[in-house]
Amino acid sequence: MPRAFCTAKMCDFGPHFEILQAGGFEVETVPADVDLRKEPHRVVEQVQGYEAVIAGAEPYTREVLEQLPDLKVISRYGVGYDAVDLEACDELGKVVTITPGVNHHSVAEQAFALIMGIARLSRSQDQAVRAGQWEWHLTPRVWGSTIGIMGLGRIGQAMATRAIGMGMTVLAYDPFPNQAFADEHQIKLVALDELLEQSDYVTLHLPVTPETRDIINKDTLAKMKTGSVLINTARGGLVDEEALIEALESGHLRAAGLDVYKKEPLPVDSPLIKLENVLLSCHTGGLDRESHRDAYAMAAQNIVRLYQGDWPEECVVNLKNTTGWKWSK
């Protein structure tokens, strides 16, 4: 009987157990006292001997992959796969899958929660009331402002429709934009520099690639409007955090709302924690009940489909030129 292992967050409940077991798999989960995000050196120890893994954010480097000869499928919970060495997986014949289309509404809601939390000073107002203080501050209205969406995929599109409902002018930058969607919703597609220069809010919804890593840096931050706000619910690798801290401390940016970071969990000594104009959350953008259920279901289904000889092309992110891949060789 093939064996599957689950390392993704909150993997102790969900539909994946039933789906994998019905597909002929023995299923086990990472022990509750093991956090592979904090202990990446234990990935080999935990995943050893399993043929498939529903993976979280733990790293699958070439060194790790070479020590896992039985592993055939890395089925990522979510749509990010920057922690997986795809080139090494290609060479070793290991399939990497993601779960597209299940959490875009959740991420968009989190991004908007950060926008509204900053716009209405939710954190400082809450703290003031709890301290017995009564404070008033004038802040810019969200309605009528301009939002720049970097990445117009599923999540970016979910952001766009919400922004339109909030009366915002929507600009978007995407190397390969969905022109039909932009036309339908009257979204102005612009170059990156124009988006940065005109937006009151810039929200990131791009994957991390060699081209996008640190796309928000000292130069691009300088192009943003004075008093604008940066929102990141995508990946920490998109932002040069030192440059962002400098822009926040100088007052060039009014604020930032961050759900993701270069290093996670965010170290307690990070300067970001000390900044009053930063609203933080702990990489929960893609996590609500519906997305949890659907992501785990799809991650399990991807494994079962591959085991049964199917090829879930819409979910596979590597082995693009491979034909005839088989579970047993």
Catalytic residues: 235, 264, 283
DSSP H or E run through 302: helix 289-307
Enumerate long-range contacts of 241-248, CB under 8 Å, 24 or more apart: 241/270, 241/272, 243/216, 243/217, 243/218, 244/216, 244/272, 245/271, 245/272, 245/275, 246/218, 246/221, 247/221, 247/222, 248/275, 248/277, 248/278
3-state secondary structure (DSSP) of residue 228:
strand
CB 293 within 8 A of CB 19: no
Beta bridge partners of 53: 5, 74
Alpha carbons 230 and 199: distance in angstroms, whole number: 10
Structure tokens given for 105: 């509404």
User: Which residues, 6+ apart, have CB-to-CB distance to 253 below 8 Å?
Assistant: 221, 224, 227, 228, 229, 230, 244, 247, 277
CA-CA-CA-CA torsion sign (23, 79, 177, 109)? positive
Whole-number Å distance between alpha carbons of 81 and 216 = 20
d(CA 78, CA 97): 9
